[in-house]
Chain A
């Protein structure tokens, strides 16, 4: 990929190498980010996403592997000499400076003339609606305002790559959504290549061009939000992105046009995966809780007993028990219309064919 602005190549980061506390934070991680794209590194805490980002920024050094920005290897370049800017989780604003001084800092470092700085700071503050607050101390701003100052400070120097380290995790839920949209809008308007780290899958899926799911320092899957949800590459991704029921099954038949899987004694025909699985292969079927309908016990692909219901207004989530004691989670929208099932009731579940995904069973 020649137009990749950012490229991780077999990146490895080991902390406390050689000691008892040795941790392999990033393990053979490779990823390319194309110009103007926003790629999210998504994963649970300790998956290596923040470490990878900090290696890209220059705050950590890679144990092995390479990092390229604009085609140049930057492994040994200090942070100040890289064309990256970071928006920090804690904002990292200079508490002894005003809004103006914070935003102007990067330009002053570059010896931009005073008059030019004033114009540029004004312009960038206008983008996020902070004009008029220039002489405020940043300590006196609200969390959302501080966040936007941090964003302005990072974009004013026109970095080639903008880095976000969980920038929304210190905001309350309502602000988070608005700021998320604002970041995405700005990023697309200014066409800044961005790498965004978060553990919040909803945030990742709504903001990104591409989502890179990470676990144990390794890349699990790279894809669009839709791809990682509907076609998870493995059990971890299926489980981590949204909620998933993983049901053990066997491939009954496999043909070019599709396969038939045997699930709890019934066969379900699917018009795909013919080139992936062969007959008699053990598989896991990924069934999303919302991807099934409640039917009469005799009409369903599966029959199940209601064990527990969790009513939250817009949906009701059931924990049901399958004949082999396996549990399955089922979501039914708008329960006001259909009513809530009683514990112990026997129901049939009809699976949505197009939403089903099949994974090879390992181990």
Chain B
């Protein structure tokens, strides 16, 4: 009985796909791409770590728990991740609460400062930490301190600053959507402000806090740039895997470490996606009245304002010192002003700037279009494997960059897909690693557009292609373009996955930056950092301008009441 129903459904689906050959073709191509560039590399990782000489030999799996040298980095990574999740979410909550639920001043400035770590290479913060707190750091020398920033303190400090903005964005969204009238209802019934906060506001924000901290945890776990600079003797998993692959050429070991990195992130991905996201109360609250608890008491406001100011000062100091560093002759010894570092960057690194830009400029639109196409198919079309398409295309959201890097080396080093050493492999890494965010945003966008608009198009005789290009794309264009900026920024600042696939022929700015740090050439590294920041800011400003020009007044999708 059940089988019959199923068989009939499948038959119906096939019939429907057949009557729309364009759709069928596109679905097939996307599945092929997802298979080759997402699943196949991951399978290779599994295969290499579990099989040897054609038989099942999980050598390193068995050794992993026996040798402290192998399992210690995992434990370290988890410790750092947990600490960074707690610290990052706390800082983010203070910022989000201050901006969305109080009437403090300079909200715009605070928000701008909180977003700064997003537009810069994350590990620029590690560089800054060394400039400030390292052996010859500014603060170290000024206060004549004797400490070691390398290791756990440095990791927690840098990653907290690098990843709290992600949590901030989530929490701001959640907190600003909590209906003030719910809080007012609590106050009305005689609860104090503190009690209202503890029994109403905070519980409503719990799902948001949970997803924010899990996301920060994942980001910390998969962070490569900061640890490689500042981990010292406190070895974390990403760097261990990197050294296994590039230092010892032990790919099976690297793959095994990659899998141990993948397990926790994948688990969190599933928990977040299928458990926490369903417990969000925010969407079911009543109509937001728009007027919040804006007149906050001084006793609340002042501590929040002070905390936010302090944190902002730290962030400004972090970026300021890198900027100063980039104009300094030799950090720690000779602090005289020089432009030599930038001259060096453009002389030695001119090619890197060009390569990075070129790759990002290709990867961004291709990845953006592919994302929006997948989002469109997932939201609007019914076909067999729709759920699978969504899952696989979002999978890389949970796969740490180091794992992707290792997987791509394994998958594309030999025929049939020999791509190592080419620019294409770097582009592909960018495209398939950044796609999940694009797809997620695309899905959110499309869900806000009345399906009747697209149905009207097909009802008037337009086929799949025409409807997509003439109706869907123009409607999502503003969000699509802003999404592309984000993608471009990530291409410019990424390091963890691409460091595995760059080659002598093609170099990236971030990799060059890391190389200079490695050579203790901190001033040159700082200059590289600001070149990246300049490019990213230019792109953001340019895109703002273009979007503003093209979509003046904005588009408001119309729909029923």
A→B interface (CB under 8 Å): 17-18, 57-59, 61, 63, 76-81, 84-86, 88-96, 105-106, 109-110, 138-139, 146, 150, 153-154, 157, 163, 169-170
Q: Per a CB cutoff under 8 Å, which of A18, A63, A86 touches B2?
A: A18
Closest residue of chain A to B6, judged by CB? Answer: A18
Q: 6 closest Cβ contacts across the A-B interface? A: A92-B452, A106-B460, A92-B456, A90-B560, A88-B452, A18-B5
Asked if A77 and B19 make an inter-chain contact with CB atoms under 8 angstroms apart, the answer reads yes
* B466 beta carbon closer than 8 Å to chain A: yes
Residues of the A chain whose Cβ atoms lie less than 8 Å from the Cβ of B419? none
Asked if A90 and B555 make an inter-chain contact with CB atoms under 8 angstroms apart, the answer reads no
Residues of the A chain whose Cβ atoms lie less than 8 Å from the Cβ of B453? 92-95
- Tell me which residues from 268 to 299 in chain B have a Cβ below 8 Å from any Cβ of chain A: none
Q: Shortest beta-carbon distance, B267 to chain A, in Å?
A: 27
Bound: A84/B461 CA distance, A: 9
Q: Shortest beta-carbon distance, B472 to chain A, in Å?
A: 10
Residues of the B chain whose Cβ atoms lie less than 8 Å from the Cβ of A18? 2, 5-6, 9
Q: Per a CB cutoff under 8 Å, which of B20, B462, B557 touches A109?
A: B462
A-B contact pairs, 13 of them (CB 8 A): A57-B459, A61-B12, A76-B16, A78-B19, A79-B458, A81-B461, A90-B450, A91-B558, A92-B452, A94-B457, A96-B475, A109-B466, A153-B460
Q: Shortest beta-carbon distance, A85 to chain B, in Å?
A: 6
Asked if A93 and B458 make an inter-chain contact with CB atoms under 8 angstroms apart, the answer reads no
Bound: A154/B456 CA distance, A: 9
Residues of the B chain whose Cβ atoms lie less than 8 Å from the Cβ of A78? 19-20, 458, 463
Count residues on chain B whose CB falls below 8 Å from chain A CBs: 34
B→A interface (CB under 8 Å): 2, 5-6, 8-9, 12, 15-16, 19-20, 450, 452-463, 466, 471, 474-475, 555-561
Q: Given A85-B460, A88-B455 in contact, is the A76-B558 Cβ separation under 8 Å? A: no
Q: Indicate the member of B15, B454, B475, B559 with the most A CB atoms within 10 Å.
A: B559
Asked if A106 and B19 make an inter-chain contact with CB atoms under 8 angstroms apart, the answer reads no
Q: Shortest beta-carbon distance, A363 to chain B, in Å?
A: 30
Closest residue of chain A to B467, judged by CB? Answer: A80
Residues of the B chain whose Cβ atoms lie less than 8 Å from the Cβ of A63? 8, 12
Q: Shortest beta-carbon distance, B247 to chain A, in Å?
A: 52
Residues of the B chain whose Cβ atoms lie less than 8 Å from the Cβ of A139? 555-556, 558
Q: Given A17-B5, A78-B458 in contact, is the A90-B559 Cβ separation under 8 Å? A: yes
Q: Given A17-B5, A76-B15 in contact, is the A95-B456 Cβ separation under 8 Å? A: no
Asked if A90 and B558 make an inter-chain contact with CB atoms under 8 angstroms apart, the answer reads yes
Residues of the A chain whose Cβ atoms lie less than 8 Å from the Cβ of B15? 76
Residues of the B chain whose Cβ atoms lie less than 8 Å from the Cβ of A77? 19
* Other 9 A-B pairs with CB < 8 A, given A92-B450, A95-B557: A18-B6, A18-B9, A61-B12, A76-B15, A79-B458, A92-B452, A146-B558, A153-B460, A170-B561
Closest residue of chain B to A170, judged by CB? Answer: B560
Q: Per a CB cutoff under 8 Å, which of B460, B474, B475 touches A105?
A: B460
Asked if B558 and A109 make an inter-chain contact with CB atoms under 8 angstroms apart, the answer reads no
Residues of the A chain whose Cβ atoms lie less than 8 Å from the Cβ of B556? 95, 139
Closest residue of chain A to B561, judged by CB? Answer: A170
Q: Given A61-B12, A86-B455 in contact, is the A157-B461 Cβ separation under 8 Å? A: yes
Asked if B555 and A95 make an inter-chain contact with CB atoms under 8 angstroms apart, the answer reads yes
Q: Shortest beta-carbon distance, B557 to chain A, in Å?
A: 6
Residues of the B chain whose Cβ atoms lie less than 8 Å from the Cβ of A105? 457, 460, 462
Q: Shortest beta-carbon distance, B216 to chain A, in Å?
A: 36
Q: Shortest beta-carbon distance, A120 to chain B, in Å?
A: 14
Residues of the B chain whose Cβ atoms lie less than 8 Å from the Cβ of A61? 12, 16
Q: Given A84-B459, A94-B471 in contact, is the A17-B9 Cβ separation under 8 Å? A: yes
Residues of the B chain whose Cβ atoms lie less than 8 Å from the Cβ of A58? 458-459
Bound: A79/B456 CA distance, A: 9
Asked if B456 and A88 make an inter-chain contact with CB atoms under 8 angstroms apart, the answer reads yes
Q: Given A76-B15, A95-B557, A138-B558 in contact, is the A86-B459 Cβ separation under 8 Å? A: yes
Residues of the A chain whose Cβ atoms lie less than 8 Å from the Cβ of B9? 17-18
Residues of the B chain whose Cβ atoms lie less than 8 Å from the Cβ of A85? 459-460
Residues of the A chain whose Cβ atoms lie less than 8 Å from the Cβ of B452? 88-92
Q: Given A17-B5, A91-B558, A94-B471 in contact, is the A80-B462 Cβ separation under 8 Å? A: yes
Q: Per a CB cutoff under 8 Å, which of A94, A146, A169 touches B456?
A: A94
Asked if B555 and A109 make an inter-chain contact with CB atoms under 8 angstroms apart, the answer reads no
Residues of the B chain whose Cβ atoms lie less than 8 Å from the Cβ of A153? 456, 460
Q: Shortest beta-carbon distance, A57 to chain B, in Å?
A: 6
Q: Given A77-B19, A85-B460 in contact, is the A92-B5 Cβ separation under 8 Å? A: no
Residues of the A chain whose Cβ atoms lie less than 8 Å from the Cβ of B454? 92
Bound: A146/B556 CA distance, A: 14
Q: Per a CB cutoff under 8 Å, which of A91, A95, A109 touches B460?
A: A109
Asked if A157 and B460 make an inter-chain contact with CB atoms under 8 angstroms apart, the answer reads yes
Q: Shortest beta-carbon distance, A1 to chain B, in Å?
A: 25
Bound: A85/B462 CA distance, A: 12
Asked if B455 and A79 make an inter-chain contact with CB atoms under 8 angstroms apart, the answer reads yes
Q: Given A18-B6, A90-B560, A139-B558 in contact, is the A110-B461 Cβ separation under 8 Å? A: yes
Asked if A96 and B555 make an inter-chain contact with CB atoms under 8 angstroms apart, the answer reads yes
Q: Per a CB cutoff under 8 Å, which of B19, B560, B561 touches A76?
A: B19
Closest residue of chain B to A88, judged by CB? Answer: B452
Q: Per a CB cutoff under 8 Å, which of B19, B455, B558, B561 touches A59?
A: B455
Asked if B560 and A89 make an inter-chain contact with CB atoms under 8 angstroms apart, the answer reads yes
Residues of the A chain whose Cβ atoms lie less than 8 Å from the Cβ of B475? 95-96
Residues of the B chain whose Cβ atoms lie less than 8 Å from the Cβ of A84? 459
Bound: A110/B452 CA distance, A: 20
Q: Indicate the member of A109, A110, A153 with the most B CB atoms within 10 Å.
A: A109
Bound: A154/B15 CA distance, A: 28
Q: Shortest beta-carbon distance, B249 to chain A, in Å?
A: 51
Q: Shortest beta-carbon distance, B462 to chain A, in Å?
A: 5
Bound: A57/B452 CA distance, A: 12
Residues of the A chain whose Cβ atoms lie less than 8 Å from the Cβ of B462? 80, 105, 109
Bound: A222/B420 CA distance, A: 70
Bound: A77/B458 CA distance, A: 12
Residues of the A chain whose Cβ atoms lie less than 8 Å from the Cβ of B460? 80, 85, 105-106, 109, 153-154, 157
